[in-house]
């Protein structure tokens, strides 16, 4: 039996849980999950109070989540006491809902503690790694769902098939898997950025890769080691050399990858990369993947390995993956006009940027086009930490004729030392011989990009945390449409 913080706190399907910061990707997912399971879910978010994130608010309310002003008044929303208030690391103690909870003796749980409880109560597949988590989580969910296993979902990126059905897309409550399993399936994204993945004890654990992201790799490896020890069933580990210690960890460990090195495992073979998808084989079974890039082949192989452990055959997995509809902001096509395609991507660390730029390069090959990239760094601390690697990545990824623009660093609030600018990175990239341009005001960029763009080009917008980036892509597309007319 797993032990949890606040052991006596009721978080079951009939509990009343109040979610502070319900507009965030992690918190909105938990609120949806609880509401879909039949619980009373309420929530607040300062962005909602300011009229922002309307689509998220509407999606929550459509599922029965009651949204209140973030003024502490949630305590009187129902005719019974609230069982717990759920918060994330980003929620400050000064938020009125937190003060009201403490005044009224309402327990406060971190979102990762609630997720750990959900993990323990399901046959959970937890996906970790510094790149690709959202996509692999979505792929495993899509395969299990297509094969009738009725999985649950808790992730950071909106899954295409759920969005297409009118949902927010980052959460789904499970049903009866229909295969005699004692517990329903749940697929989650296990995040290393705040260290929360060490709380989870999943049935199946996936460790995709280890690169430079929020924390030093050695610190992340320590978390991966704890995560590995918490997995109760199969552990699936990527074939990267820096994961070798984990790959050799035990009899239930399996390897996956895109370059067969002779070890037993799940491997992509005979891979053919196309501009908008890839073909490959696994143990003689053909796969046609409708999302581009070798990194997505690696993601698919991880998902295939997980689903094989759910007693699914390669043929049915192949059919399910062929209909995969992607994840929001993961090399997502926003539209095309005047012969120019606009792509929205969540890439924000060096590995993800290199992967997105590689997919963009393959897209423009043969079109006599260029990559017109926009990268918005997020956070002064992360930008400072990743500065050298980001500069190196862009120097290596940009080609002759390509252009990179950076607006100023996106800052979500709080106390921080502002001793670095996006302009500093641009100067270093330009010193490396690339066409890199700093434009402090992002609002000036759409017109500049439209003026620069010509038929065959691809506009690739990259960045994380800022929910307005997708709308920014749409504004660029509108500028291109003006040029077309």
Q: Give residue 2's pLDDT.
A: 46
Handedness of CA 188, 189, 192, 196 (dihedral sign): negative
Q: Give residue 212's pLDDT.
A: 84
Backbone φ/ψ region at 58: left (φ over 0), alpha (ψ -120 to 50), beta: alpha
Angle value at C-alpha 398, between 268 and 378, nearest 5 degrees: 90
Q: Are 265 and 272 in contact (CB under 8 A)?
A: no
Residue 441 pLDDT greater than 60, yes or no: yes
Residue 459 pLDDT greater than 90, yes or no: yes
Handedness of CA 65, 68, 72, 76 (dihedral sign): negative
| Mean pLDDT across 294-316 | 97
Q: Give residue 289's pLDDT.
A: 98
Task: Give φ, ψ of 428 to 5 degrees.
Answer: -70, -35
Q: Give residue 4's pLDDT.
A: 56
Burial code (b: 16+ CB inside 10 Å, e: under 16) for 457-482 equals: bbbbbbbbbbbebeebbebbbebbee
Order of strands across the sheet that contains 84-87: 66-67, 40-44, 16-20, 84-87, 108-110
CA distance 347 to 326: 15
CA distance 85 to 19: 6
CA distance 67 to 79: 16
Residue 483 pLDDT greater than 90, yes or no: no
Domain boundaries defined on the chain: 16-110, 121-322, 332-484
For residues 412 and 376, which has the higher predicted lDDT (pLDDT)? 376
| Mean pLDDT across 461-485 | 93
Return the SS3 of 339: coil
Class of domain 332-484: alpha beta
Q: State the average pLDDT for the chain.
A: 93
CA distance 296 to 135: 8
CA distance 480 to 234: 49
Q: What is the DSSP string of 40-86?
A: EEEEE-HHHHTT--HHHHHHHHHTTPEE--SSSGGGGSSSS---EEE
Model pLDDT for residues 252-282, shown as the tens digit of each residue: 999 999 998 888 999 999 999 999 999 999 9
Q: Which two tokens stand for residue 10?
A: 């009721």
Residue 473 pLDDT greater than 70, yes or no: yes
pLDDT above 90: percentage of residues in the chain: 85
Residue 416 pLDDT greater than 90, yes or no: no
DSSP-H helix ranges across 148-280: 160-164, 217-230, 244-247
Angle value at C-alpha 161, between 156 and 163, nearest 5 degrees: 65
Model pLDDT for residues 322-370, shown as the tens digit of each residue: 999 999 999 999 999 999 999 999 999 999 999 999 999 999 997 889 9
Model pLDDT for residues 191-217, shown as the tens digit of each residue: 887 778 899 999 999 999 999 887 889
Position 1 confidence tier, pLDDT thresholds 50, 70, 90: very low
In sequence order, what are the residues at sequence separation of 6 or more whose Cβ sits closer than 8 angstroms to the Cβ of residue 109? Answer: 5, 6, 9, 11, 84, 85, 86, 87
CA distance 330 to 209: 17
Residue 5 pLDDT greater than 90, yes or no: no
Q: Is the pTM of this model over 0.75?
A: yes
CA-derived radius of gyration, the chain? 22
Model pLDDT for residues 46-56, shown as the tens digit of each residue: 999 999 999 99
Position 227 confidence tier, pLDDT thresholds 50, 70, 90: very high
- Decide if 16-110 and 121-322 have a common fold: no
CA distance 105 to 461: 45
Domain formed by 121-322, architecture: 3-Layer(aba) Sandwich (3.40)
| Mean pLDDT across 464-480 | 94
In sequence order, what are the residues at sequence separation of 6 or more whose Cβ sits closer than 8 angstroms to the Cβ of residue 122? Answer: 152, 174, 183, 184, 185, 186
Element (H, E) at 321: helix 314-322
Q: Which residues pair with 279 in a beta bridge?
A: 272, 288
Provide the terminal-to-terminal Cα distance of the chain, rounded to the nearest Å: 65
Q: Tell me the CATH number for domain 16-110.
A: 3.40.50.720
Is 80 exposed, middle or buried, given 0-12, 13-18 or 19+ CB atoms closer than 10 A? Answer: exposed
Tell which residue, 254, 257, 338, has the closest CA to residue 294: 257
CA distance 116 to 120: 6
């Amino acid at each position: 039996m797993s032990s949890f913080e606040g052991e006596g706190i009721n978080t079951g399907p009939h509990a009343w849980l109040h979610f502070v910061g319900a507009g965030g990707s992690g918190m909105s997912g938990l609120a949806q999950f609880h509401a879909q399971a039949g619980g009373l879910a309420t929530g607040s978010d300062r962005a909602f109070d300011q009229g922002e994130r309307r689509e998220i608010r509407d999606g929550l309310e459509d599922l029965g989540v009651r949204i209140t002003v973030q003024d502490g008044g949630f305590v009187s929303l129902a005719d019974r006491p609230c069982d717990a208030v759920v918060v994330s690391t980003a929620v400050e103690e000064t938020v009125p809902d937190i003060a009201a909870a403490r005044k009224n003796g309402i327990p406060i749980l971190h979102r990762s503690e609630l997720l750990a409880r959900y993990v323990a109560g399901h046959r959970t597949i937890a996906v970790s790694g510094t790149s690709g988590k959202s996509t692999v989580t979505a792929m495993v969910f899509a395969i299990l769902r297509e094969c009738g296993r009725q999985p649950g979902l808790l992730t950071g990126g909106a899954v295409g098939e759920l969005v297409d059905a009118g949902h927010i897309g980052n959460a789904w409550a499970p049903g009866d898997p229909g295969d005699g399993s004692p517990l329903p399936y749940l697929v989650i994204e296990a995040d290393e950025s705040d260290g929360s993945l060490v709380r989870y004890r999943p049935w199946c654990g996936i460790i995709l890769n280890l690169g430079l992201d929020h924390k030093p790799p050695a610190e992340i490896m320590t978390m991966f080691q704890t995560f590995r020890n918490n997995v109760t069933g199969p552990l699936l580990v990527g074939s990267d050399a820096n994961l070798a210690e984990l790959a050799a960890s035990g009899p239930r460990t399996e390897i996956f990858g895109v370059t067969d090195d002779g070890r037993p495992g799940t491997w992509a073979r005979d891979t053919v990369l196309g501009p908008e998808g890839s073909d490959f084989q696994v143990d003689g079974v053909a796969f046609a993947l409708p999302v581009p890039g070798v990194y997505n082949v690696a993601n698919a192989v991880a998902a295939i390995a997980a689903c094989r452990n759910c007693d699914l055959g390669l043929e049915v997995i192949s059919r399910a993956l062929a209909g995969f509809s992607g994840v929001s902001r993961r090399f997502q096509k926003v539209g095309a006009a005047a012969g120019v395609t606009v792509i929205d991507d969540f890439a924000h660390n060096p590995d993800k940027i290199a992967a997105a730029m590689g997919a963009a390069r393959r897209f423009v090959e043969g079109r006599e086009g260029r990559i017109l990239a926009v990268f918005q760094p997020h956070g002064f601390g992360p930008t400072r930490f990743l500065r050298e690697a980001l500069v190196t990545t862009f120097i290596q990824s940009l080609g002759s004729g390509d252009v990179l623009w950076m607006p100023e660093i996106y800052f979500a609030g709080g106390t921080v030392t502002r001793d670095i600018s996006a302009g500093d990175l641009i100067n270093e990239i330009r010193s490396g011989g690339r066409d890199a341009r700093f434009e402090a005001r992002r609002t000036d960029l759409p017109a500049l990009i439209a003026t620069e763009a010509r038929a065959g080009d691809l506009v690739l917008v990259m960045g994380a945390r800022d929910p307005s980036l997708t709308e920014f892509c749409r504004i660029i597309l509108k500028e291109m449409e003006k040029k077309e007319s």
